[in-house]
Amino acid sequence: MPKKSGKKVRIDFRKNRGRVARNNDLTRDVQKGDVADDKLASGERLSGKGKLSRRRTIVGVTVEGDQIIRDVDEAGCLTGRVLSAIGGLHCRVEGPDQVVYDCSVRRVVRTLTREARNAVVTGDRVLFRPLDKESGIIERVEPRSGILARGHQRQQHILVANISQVAIIGSLEEPHLKPALIDRFLVSAEKGGVKALICLNKSDLVDLADLQQIIGLYARLGYRVVPTSSRTGQNVDLLRHLLAGEQTVFSGQSGVGKSSLLNLLCPGLQLGIGEVSQDTGKGRHTTRHSQLLRLETGGWVVDTPGIRQMEIWDVAGGEVEGFFREFRPFVSHCRFNSCLHLEEDGCAIRQAVRHGLISQIRYESYVRMVVGDD
């Protein structure tokens, strides 16, 4: 990752208080003589940007990729891993010797955040200063490696950082499988530099013979597909083997059984589980925030809240094709280099779809990503 050092940087300053409300009757009060002349000089400002600057200069930083790393005095600080981050302000951090601290985030760390929803996320490696045996304050977020992120209100929402793989949990019934959501997770995983496996849970509720087409689709693309059942324990041992020694995030929509699977994988976790709503057919949130959990077999796993929408972040329409593995052999045969594979003449991708060489289901997922239909 490119690295650039400098003494200072100008960044957006996130104000922590609103500007002072204007007194709309000030001019009228002056004309009526209700305001003394000697008080006008110290009166409120009626124009400009307010009393707080919109920009701020931070001295002593290092720019690494799209992250700004603050230089701090490391004396008296400890290194740790964020186990959970609530609102990006209050974090549980595991320090040396597995001691857990309740930490707040120094305001300058939040100020340094660029186009991100939270300054600190679950999985971050941080430098923090202990205040006592139970609490501390985060001074710096170390550079991140593998991330899983989505777009949220025109900002990057990093779900978890420093992972090696994402386990995309889908449900074969209650709620029904959503291949389009799986495809979005696959793109986000590859964009974040992590490998992916697909876990199809609640396999005891269906006849797997009826799902060989969808299972074979992803298996042929090189993704590991594991049908599981938290009720019968099907393939739980295989899943445990695939997680051993890895930094894995469990992610998927609500109600697919993420927490139930984790309870089987590591019975001591005792994570809360919920039922699917009979009215909407959608799962109810039981996990309120992401949690980094240590596995007995080695490695870590992150349990995340359910996600119903996965907006692709920082991927232009013309770049989406690069994240669809089956497109790659055909892209160079398109008539135009700028082909988006939508309605262009001489498109090799559309021709491959017509001949069954590319799945219609996957192609429809691609089109929705390109046109921005969530």
Q: What is the DSSP letter of 311?
A: B
Q: What is the pTM of this model?
A: 0.80
Domains along the sequence of the chain with CATH: 68-143 (2.40.50.140), 150-303 (3.40.50.300), 319-371 (1.10.40.50)
Return the pLDDT at 267: 76
Give the residues of the chain that fall short of pLDDT 50: 1-2, 4, 16-18, 20, 35, 40-49, 51-53, 276-285
Beta strand 247-251 with 165-171 is parallel
Secondary structure of residue 259 in the 3-state scheme: helix
d(CA 82, CA 100): 9
Q: Which of 112, 13, 120, 12 is nearest to 61 (CA)?
A: 112
What confidence score (pLDDT) does residue 95 get? 95
- Rounded Cα gap, residues 194 and 273, in angstroms: 27
Burial class (CB in 10 A: 0-12, 13-18, 19+), 242: middle
pLDDT of residue 31: 57
CA pseudo-torsion sign 101, 106, 109, 113: positive
Tokens, residue 183: 């495809």
Q: State the pLDDT at residue 287.
A: 55
**Contact criterion met (CB below 8 Å) for 239 and 265:** yes
pLDDT of residue 192: 95
pLDDT of residue 372: 83
**pLDDT value of residue 342:** 96
